[in-house]
Amino acid sequence: MISIKNLTKVFLRDPIFDNYSAEFRAQRVCVEAANGLGKSTLFTLIAGVDRAYQGKILFDNKEYKEPQKVVALASDAIVFPDFLTAQQVLAMTMKSWNCAMPDELISVLQFSSFLNTRVCALSSGNLKKLQLINAIMRNTPYLILDEPSAALDTASVHKLVEYLNTSTNQILMSCHDPDVFMQIGFEHQPLFAE
């Protein structure tokens, strides 16, 4: 369970979250809100990518000084160096997080032939696949997927859904077309209580 308590996050002088509290209890949650209301921002806060906030973010009622140890994020907010190949990005993740190369996931997403492609030369769909592979391979207890189906072809979305169906992680995601994910038990949860 991920609990947000009294979260305040301000950009310049505009609050994105002002004393915001929420709980994400289900194992698979699709967070819903219109564009620009803070889903991606919330995800970077939960994942520890952005630490400039007030309030508490708890994982099963425990606060982590380094949430990256328990949360992996697949998002456009994670920028890979343009000059590296996809293989080099994944090798760095393997070394940094002491995890194995996710050969099965690479195969499932039909990414093998792009491993030697530089990040700057990847299509938007293949960059999304790299983001997903890079996060999922860490096998953290909590996995956050920010628009996982964006830029993916229909076949890749279905393969991703099949793969996620075997996951035991708590998964939080945002998605503008969540129907295919609902088939494997994702529950809708509005970002803000109605």
Q: What is the mean pLDDT of each run of 10 residues along the chain (194 residues)?
A: 92 87 93 85 92 92 91 94 97 95 94 97 96 95 94 91 91 88 88 74
In this prediction, residue 35 carries a pLDDT of: 82
d(CA 45, CA 180) in angstroms, rounded, equals 27
Per-residue exposure over 128-155, b if at least 16 CB sit within 10 Å of its own CB, e if not: bbbbbbbbbbbebebbbbbbbbbbbeee
Q: How many CB atoms lie within 10 A of CB 35?
A: 8
pLDDT of residue 141: 96
The 3-state DSSP class for residue 29 equals strand
Rounded to whole angstroms, how far apart are CA atoms 63 and 60? 9
Q: In order of start, what are the domains of the chain with their CATH numbers?
A: 2-190 (3.40.50.300)
Single-letter residue type at 65 = K
Position 159 scores a pLDDT of: 92
CA nearest 100: which of 60, 71, 138? 138
